[in-house]
Amino acid sequence: MASFLILFFKSSVCFFMYISYKRTRKIIIKNRNMRLNKFLSVAGIASRRKADELIASGKITLNGKIVLELGTQIDPEKDKVFFNTKQVAILDTHLYIIFNKPKDCITTLNDERGRTTIMDYITVKERIFPIGRLDRNTTGVLLFTNDGEFANHLMHPRFELKKTYKVEIDKSLSPEHEKTLRQGVKLSDGKTSKSEIYFFPRQKRKIIGISIHEGRNRQVRRMFEALNYEVFSLERVSYDEITCEGLRRGEWRYLTAREVQYLKSKKEKPEK
């Protein structure tokens, strides 16, 4: 009887261990799956939103077939994902770069018309991409990375990182327009959110500092143009606390570990 009870006890333990192993394995296998856009972003191809655009435009293949479904789940260990005939893999090293963009340089990775692009200046062999963009004639701080998740967080409207610009305009900014800029300007794509305005001594209100928390296309130029000012020059002087100090136009450097850590911490503590 005793040996029967021991045998029964042992087989019950084995049975429950087997069930629990099956459940854990199922969870592990389930968790290995990842959304395709996240995979492309972690692999440094683009931010998640850009990755969705690549998928929708038919540039991504999954196991030899074009995949258009945005919510597609993949198994990064088994599935073969290709972008423009190159297989995509998750890298274990990430690069973070700050560039002091000069004028007459476009924010694109390559230009069919042969114009000068940011990649004529940044000569790293890894595939990196800009975090946001600056217009052709806007100068100053532009960040690059191959860490799609990092880019994704910095560009997400919810985190609203402050970008500060120095704008040179054709005439003195009136106090009334200063107020409008601070409160929000009506643009074709909606009213802008509040901005901060600064003046420089002895510049007769023709050189203005403006900090915004959005990243719409040509936003600063459009804000001034909407109020009938001509923008002579535009420079991004800082991306949150990160500046180009010590870099001449056209020069770049790697962000320090401290700067990367600082920007990463921003995603956990979004600004109000």
Q: Is 8 left (phi over 0), alpha (psi -120 to 50) or beta?
A: alpha
Nearest approach in angstroms of CB 190 to ligand URA is: 16
Nearest approach in angstroms of CB 40 to ligand URA is: 26
- Residue 143 contacts by C-beta under 8 Å, 6 or more apart in sequence? 96, 97, 98, 99, 130, 131, 132, 154, 239, 242, 255
| Interacting residue with ligand URA among 50, 166, 177, 221 (CB under 6 A) | 221
For the chain, the distance separating the N- and C-terminal CA atoms, rounded to the nearest angstrom, is 71
Q: Which of 135, 147, 170, 189 is catalytic?
A: 135
Check if 135 is active-site.
yes
Minimum CB distance to ligand URA smaller for 48 or for 221 = 221
Nearest approach in angstroms of CB 179 to ligand URA is: 20
Under rule CB under 6 A, residue 169 binds ligand URA: no
Minimum CB distance to ligand URA smaller for 76 or for 250 = 250
CA angle 90, 95, 97 (to 5 degrees): 150
Question: How many chain residues are in contact with ligand URA, going by CB under 6 A?
Answer: 8
| Residues in a beta bridge with 105 | none
Crossing angle between the packed helical segments 148-155 and 48-56, to the nearest 10 degrees: 110
Point out the residues that are catalytic. 135
Residues that bind ligand URA (CB under 6 A): 134-135, 138, 218-221, 234
